[in-house]
Amino acid sequence: MSFTKKVVTTYAKSLFQNLKENSISQQAEDYFNIGKITSVDPNKIIPDIYFIGEELLLIRSLLTSSKVIQQFFNNPTYSEGQKLNVIFSIFPGLTLSLQSFLKVLSERSHLSLLPEISEEYTKNLVAFRNSTKVKLFVASPLKENYSSSLLNTLKTLTKSNEIVLSAAYNPKLLGGIIIEYNSKSIDASILKEFSLFFNES
């Protein structure tokens, strides 16, 4: 693992763990505080791990949207303060937790790592939610009435609570499907059956 990858992983994991612990402690405090039943101070609500994930994805899309912006954030001649001001001016409503995190990155000259940090944070989030990304390749469009049974089958197959599904149409398969998840591939296509048949002959 490269040094940059270690730094990115550490940032994402630290942010995720801090938010998760703060959310759990806040929920416990609210549960035992009778005053919270009638009034909640919106300034004291700790943003949850999902909201921060969405904010990171927005910033990631900004930093990867054009070569000009990428060059700006990777250029050491611009100060980290200038880069931070650009983010804050485009996204003025960021949560205090993320603002603090961005300031730490700025102090350490690591704002350019935000796209990678966002990706790593999303991996932590996916693991926490016990969700799995599944790619599905089909020879013909799926019928709507298959959707619920397909998702239930994929949940059982991947042992996940949630499936993030992306489907692609590939008529060369002739029929059947190919399922890819967690670096695994299940090829149940007619094309594979034909290739196996001709290789045996």
Dump pLDDT digits (tens) for 108-129. 999 999 999 999 998 888 788 7
* 115 CB neighbour count, 10 Å cutoff: 19
Q: In the chain, how many H helices and how many E strands?
A: 8, 4
Are 126 and 160 spatial neighbours (Cβ–Cβ below 8 Å)? no
- Indicate the residue among 101, 126, 151 that finishes a domain: 126
pLDDT at residue 40 is higher than 50: no
Question: What is the pLDDT at residue 181?
Answer: 84
> Greater confidence, 80 or 36?
80
Domain shared by 15 and 102, yes or no: yes
The percentage of residues in the chain with a pLDDT greater than 70, rounded to a whole number, is: 80
> Which range has the top average pLDDT, 2-6, 65-69, 143-147?
65-69
Q: Which two tokens stand for residue 153?
A: 């089958």
pLDDT of residue 1: 64
Q: How far is CA 125 from CA 9, 17, 31, 111, 121, in A?
A: 13, 10, 24, 21, 6
The whole domain housing 29 covers: 3-126
The per-residue pLDDT for 88 is 94
Instruction: Give the strand order in the sheet containing 176-181.
Output: 162-169, 131-138, 176-181, 184-189
pLDDT mean over 131-149? 77
- The mean pLDDT of the chain is 80
Q: Provide the 3-class DSSP secondary structure of residue 162.
A: strand
Q: What is the pLDDT of residue 34?
A: 44
Pairing of strands 162-169, 131-138: parallel
Domain boundary among 108, 126, 144: 126
Same-domain check for residues 32 and 47: yes
Q: Where are the beta strands (DSSP E) in 84-173?
A: 131-138, 162-169
Same domain membership, residue 168 and residue 74: no
User: Residue 43: pLDDT above 50?
Assistant: no
Task: Please write down the HEC assignment for all residues of 24-81.
Answer: HHHHHHHHHCHHHHCCCCHHHCCCCHHHHHHHHHHHHHHHHCCHHHHHHHHCCCCCHH
CATH of the domain at 25: 1.10.520
Q: What is the pTM of this model?
A: 0.61
Could you tell me if 117 and 55 lie in one domain?
A: yes
What's the pLDDT band for 29 if we cut at 50, 70, 90?
A: very low
Same domain for 69 and 35, yes or no, is yes
